[in-house]
Structures are given as structure tokens and as C-alpha cells.
Amino acid sequence: MNPIALSCFYSDVFFRKSQLLLVGTADGQLSIYDASEFQSELHVCPTKLHLGVGRMPVRGFVPAMTITNDVVLWGSCGTSLFSLRGDLQVHSVIETSKTQRTINDDESVISCLCADKYVYLARHNNCTVEIWDGANSRYHGAIDCSYAIWTPDGDANEKCISPQMSVGDTFFVYSMAVQRSIALWVGLACGRIVAFDISSRKILLSLAVFPMHITALTLQRCTIGDGPKLILFALGSHFGDEINVEDAHSHIYAVDASLPYHVGSLKSHIATRARLISKMSKSCTA
């Protein structure tokens, strides 16, 4: 990757109510631009922060849902997490590579992240979501996403396997979004979206959406029908009659974020009915 290539960007209103643009590059530089200066004919001179080591790129910025120690933003650079305060100065840097046993540096690089009470991160070509306590800079456990495609018999679900990849590549994590204190949504390489319960880390819902990886996930509140609803938007690709990567067309898929709880209520209802039927059967035979 070209060291000056842009690797990510993020825009929001920060301190002093200024609209700022944050731009990350492949060599670990973070440039901060004031959006009001873009309309000026003068040369825009950004504030620059060096976050990386060597050729590690800055990957993604996510807002801190729970503001602790004045931290408003989280991001990643190579194998490190970093947090920014409201004045966009670096508050902390957490080195996460010590949890990895791989000797391949590329596979240790953080590829995507999201933040709630904890920071959730995934690495390049990895099926595990790591959970970090940003306030204490401590590793807090992990979620193995490979369980999402295994049957109760221990075999891989053929419907989850893309003909374009091996079984091992199928559960690589490509994207994530967190629903505050409720659910973690994960987009997998096989084109499946999986929702995990935040507290129990159990699977709430698994949806087959695209034939290949989910490029991006985002949660947005939209006004639909009777009122506002929280909608999960997924970006991925569809193919024609024959699966050919060159003929792929990008599509956006929308999911009602309350769907896992409708499914959970239905499962609970079915389980209750099963218990009642069992009791009635025993009463009739007694």
C-alpha cells in the first residue's frame, strides 16, 4: 500500500462545535481538517498526529458510546487501539498484539472495530472478535464467530459455505456494529450477518444476506411507518446467474434491529407451549 494512501476518514462536530474531518493514512498518520476552511482559497494546513509504527495503516474511527475519561473517539492503527479526547488529543494507546499467537504480522493487524461499554475488534483473516476494556486497557475475552455456521452435529452448514472460498475462510469477520448494551452485529466472509447478545455472548440471530462478505455494517434510526425504528444497513455484493467476482453488483440490505428479540420471544413462546403440552400428556396418561 502506498504510504500516503488514505486508509479511512471520519467527520463529526467536535469541541467548539467545529465540523472536523479526520483522515487516516497507510503510514499511521492522522490529519485533522477544519471543514470550514475547505471553502477558503487559502491552503488548508491540517493538524497531524503520528499514531503508527512503520507501515501500519490507521483503520476506522468509531464514536465512544460511553464517554469515559473524556474519550469521544476510538480508532486502530496496526495492532494498537487508540482513543482521542474531545480536543482530539491522544488519550491512550493500547497494544493488543500480545493476545495473538500468530507469527504473521498481517494477521495481527486490526481490520475493523466498534465501541460500546467495551471496544470490540477483529483482525485480518480471523474469525474471533476480541473484547477490550478501554477504561482499564485490559483484554476482556472473545467471541468465536465460527459457531454461527456449524450444525448441532458438528458439521459445517453447506448453506453458509461460499463456492468462492474454503470452509476456514467462511467465518472471517469483515465488519461489525454494536447496538448499545444490547447486541453485537457481525458481518462474515460468507455473507452472513450474526447478532450476538452483549451480556451472554450467545447467538441471537443468523441471517444469510449475500453470497460473499459483508463489506460494512451500520446502525441508523429511521422514520418508517408509525414511527422511528433502529435499522441495520449492510453493504455487500450480489451476482448474476453465475457467481463471478468481476460481475458483482453492490447492494444494501436493511434489517429491523429489533428482529432478534422477536425471534427470541417466538422461541420462548414455543418452549412454553412445549412444556404445557408435555404436562398435559403426562396428566392424560396418569
Task: Report the CATH number at residue 253.
Answer: 2.40.10.480
Work out how many domains the chain is built from and give that number.
2
Q: Is residue 250 part of a domain?
A: yes
Which pLDDT does position 48 carry in this prediction?
81
Reported pTM = 0.81
Q: Are residues 251 and 130 located together in one domain of the fold?
A: yes
Higher pLDDT, 161 or 275: 275
Q: Cell for 3?
A: 504510504
Q: ∠57-178-167 over CA atoms, to 5°?
A: 70
Q: Is residue 226 part of a domain?
A: yes
Summarize pLDDT for 155-199 with one digit per residue, the tens.
Answer: 555 555 555 555 556 778 999 999 887 899 999 988 889 999 888
Q: Are residues 275 and 175 located together in one domain of the fold?
A: yes
Q: Is the pLDDT of residue 152 over 60?
A: no
Cell 460481475, located at residue: 247
DSSP H or E run through 231? strand 227-238
Closest among 196, 225, 214 to 252, alpha carbons compared: 214
Q: Are residues 42 and 163 located together in one domain of the fold?
A: no
Q: Is 243 exposed, middle or buried (0-12, 13-18, 19+ CB in 10 A)?
A: middle
Q: Cell for 137?
A: 486497557
Domain range for 244: 105-286
Q: Mention every residue, 6+ apart, whose C-beta is less than 8 A from residue 279.
A: none
Q: Are residues 86 and 7 located together in one domain of the fold?
A: yes
SS3 162: coil
Q: What is the DSSP letter of 143?
A: E
Q: Is residue 100 part of a domain?
A: no
Q: Are residues 137 and 245 located together in one domain of the fold?
A: yes
Round to whole Å and give the CA distance between 157 and 172. 15
